[in-house]
């Protein structure tokens, strides 16, 4: 794991013990820190309770879930895991009940809403910073072999672009690790050797909890309205994204998609700050031959690929290695994932598309679409999807938004209110002809019917596999 001797003897309170929190506790303990840990979920806390050789102390103690389990748990949600390992000790107590005077930091999960959680004011009263695991990684870099960091943020496309950059680097023979808001928490992974590159997907929540991460290459793909319950309006959300560049040193590369005004404004701000030569702008609508990249179809993936190409060029990767990586990239589950073909009908799992803006590119990537959409709506319109409506043969609405989406779409296309995913797949399969595409791209969150978008996508794949 990644840890730092500089943490020895320091005091940290860790709030939230899902996979990033559990990895944080392990790294701090390995560095010799004194740790108080807490999670609002009693089931998660029970993994850290005393009585099994897992820790001591009046407040309770415990150990940690095995690191191998962490990659399968959601970053921003409580997650169960195997019992803690014996011999790893920490105190178990709610930091809101503690006098935080003398603590060096509260390390909060990205899922803790800083704008309304009382820990923010409680820590401020004690003059204790609230940080996250990415900030701890930034602090640990001084003790690690000399490496570089690529940070990728944006409302849509972060995971695909992060995985693509990581894949191209690996194809080129560059030692690389992927972490942040994707895969295994970065602190749970072994440090890279000299010359390696860390590729970090960074949500706005993670950036909010980071103070000193100096990315050698920082990427902003786009900014569209999302997560506004955590910010003082859209401007506050955009400002969170901009902080990734504010933490960079002069001369470090900034790659920014300028399809939206908020991102364009950030690019202009960086240029005015004396870093004009460091800014690479990714313009919308660039015509590219994507036929050699089977996992990178659609206009949104053209933009993702351009950002990845620019990032790898900034790192000195050869064009031949970049081309090879683009061609061999397999894509990510639940993101424009082609999951099979039955009777000449293609099935595409785009469950990760949880808002209309992220669904829009999928509707433009295929024609003759049977579109399965709906769930827990984030907006009351589908205007962002309208450019792709001509490609839709029929829509099938599901979840809480089934009635709303049927009403919105009926003027433009045939619509069936299916209600559930299994009913929608069955109806789409009955209506589809060879050459058609059955597309799950919900434009909604999943929480009305599924644990998360992954569970929704897995259910779609299982339904496809069960078709005769």
Question: Could you read off the pLDDT of 316-326 as tens digits, one per residue?
Answer: 999 999 999 99
Structure tokens at 77: 């949600």
Contacts of 37 (CB under 8 A, 6+ apart): 13, 14, 17, 21, 25, 48, 62, 90, 91, 92
181 classed as catalytic: yes
Residues 96 and 188 in one domain: no
For strand 130-131 and strand 197-201, is the pairing parallel, antiparallel, or unpaired? unpaired
Catalytic residue among 34, 156, 181, 391: 181
Residues 155 and 280 in one domain: yes
Average pLDDT value for residue range 277-283: 92
| Residue 389 belongs to domain spanning | 337-465
pLDDT of residue 90: 81
378 classed as catalytic: no
Residues 268 and 404 in one domain: no
CA distance 300 to 153: 15
Residues 301 and 421 in one domain: no
Q: How many CA atoms lie within 13 A of 308 on its CB side?
A: 30
Phi-psi region of 419 (alpha: psi -120 to 50; beta: other; left: phi over 0): left
Residue 257 — φ and ψ, nearest 5°? -75, 135
CA 64 to chain centre: 24
CATH number, domain with residue 54: 3.40.50.720
Structure tokens at 160: 């695909």
Residues 393 and 423 in one domain: yes
Residues 424 and 438 in one domain: yes
How many domains does one find in the chain? Answer: 3
Q: How confident is residue 413, by pLDDT bands cut at 50, 70 and 90? A: very high
Nearest to 185 by CA among 133, 146, 140: 133
Residues 92 and 55: beta-carbon distance below 8 Å: yes
pLDDT of residue 49: 59
Residues 119 and 174 in one domain: no
Catalytic residue among 227, 378, 393, 431: 227
Residues 317 and 180 in one domain: yes
Residues 51 and 63: beta-carbon distance below 8 Å: no
DSSP bridge pairs for 61: 91
- H or E segment and range at residue 440: strand 437-440
Catalytic residue among 34, 122, 156, 158: 158
334 classed as catalytic: no
pLDDT at 61 over 80: no
Give the global pTM. 0.79
Structure tokens at 241: 């994204």
By mean pLDDT, which of 45-54, 79-88, 123-132 is the weakest? 79-88
CA distance 460 to 348: 9
Q: How far is CA 443 from CA 281, 379, 401, in A?
A: 27, 9, 10
Residues 109 and 243 in one domain: no
């Amino acid at each position: 794991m990644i840890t730092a001797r500089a943490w020895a003897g320091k005091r940290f309170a860790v709030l939230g013990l899902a996979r990033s929190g559990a990895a944080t506790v392990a790294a701090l303990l390995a560095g010799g820190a004194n740790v108080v840990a807490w999670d609002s979920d009693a089931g998660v806390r029970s993994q850290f309770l005393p009585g099994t050789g897992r820790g001591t102390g009046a407040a309770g103690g415990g150990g940690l879930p095995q690191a191998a389990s962490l990659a399968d748990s959601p970053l921003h949600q409580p997650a169960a895991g195997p019992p803690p390992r014996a011999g790893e000790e920490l105190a178990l107590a709610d930091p809101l009940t503690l006098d935080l005077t003398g603590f060096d930091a509260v390390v909060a999960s990205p899922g803790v809403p800083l704008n309304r959680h009382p820990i923010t004011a409680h820590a401020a009263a004690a003059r204790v910073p609230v940080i996250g695991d990415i900030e701890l990684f930034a602090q640990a870099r001084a003790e690690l072999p000399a490496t570089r960091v690529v940070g990728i943020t944006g409302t849509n496309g972060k995971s695909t672009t992060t995985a693509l950059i990581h894949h191209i680097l690996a194809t080129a023979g560059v030692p690389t690790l992927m972490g942040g808001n994707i895969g295994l928490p970065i602190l749970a992974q072994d440090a890279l050797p000299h010359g390696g590159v860390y590729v970090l997907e960074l949500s706005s929540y993670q950036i909010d909890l980071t103070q000193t991460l100096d990315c050698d290459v920082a990427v902003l793909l786009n900014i569209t309205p999302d997560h506004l319950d955590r910010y003082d309006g859209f401007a506050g959300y955009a400002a969170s994204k901009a902080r990734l560049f504010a933490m960079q040193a002069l001369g470090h590369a900034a790659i920014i998609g300028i399809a939206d005004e908020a991102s364009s404004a950030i690019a202009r701000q960086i240029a005015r700050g004396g870093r004009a030569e460091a800014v690479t702008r990714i313009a919308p609508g660039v015509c590219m031959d994507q036929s050699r990249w089977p996992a990178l179809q659609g206009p949104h993936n053209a933009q993702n690929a351009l950002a990845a190409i620019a990032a790898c060029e900034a790192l000195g990767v050869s064009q031949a290695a970049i081309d090879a990586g683009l061609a061999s990239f397999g894509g990510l589950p639940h993101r424009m994932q082609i999951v099979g073909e039955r009777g000449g009908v293609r099935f595409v799992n785009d469950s990760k598309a949880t808002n209309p803006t992220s669904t829009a590119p999928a509707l433009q990537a295929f024609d003759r679409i049977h579109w399965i959409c709906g769930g827990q709506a984030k907006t009351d319109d589908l205007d962002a999807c309208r450019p792709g409506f001509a490609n839709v043969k029929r829509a099938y609405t599901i979840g809480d938004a089934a009635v709303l989406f049927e009403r919105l779409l009926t003027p433009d296309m045939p619509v069936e209110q299916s209600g559930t995913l299994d009913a929608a797949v069955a109806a789409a399969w009955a209506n589809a002809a060879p050459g058609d595409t059955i597309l799950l791209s919900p434009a909604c969150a999943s929480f009305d019917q599924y644990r998360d978008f992954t569970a929704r996508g897995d259910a779609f794949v299982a339904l496809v596999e069960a078709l005769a």
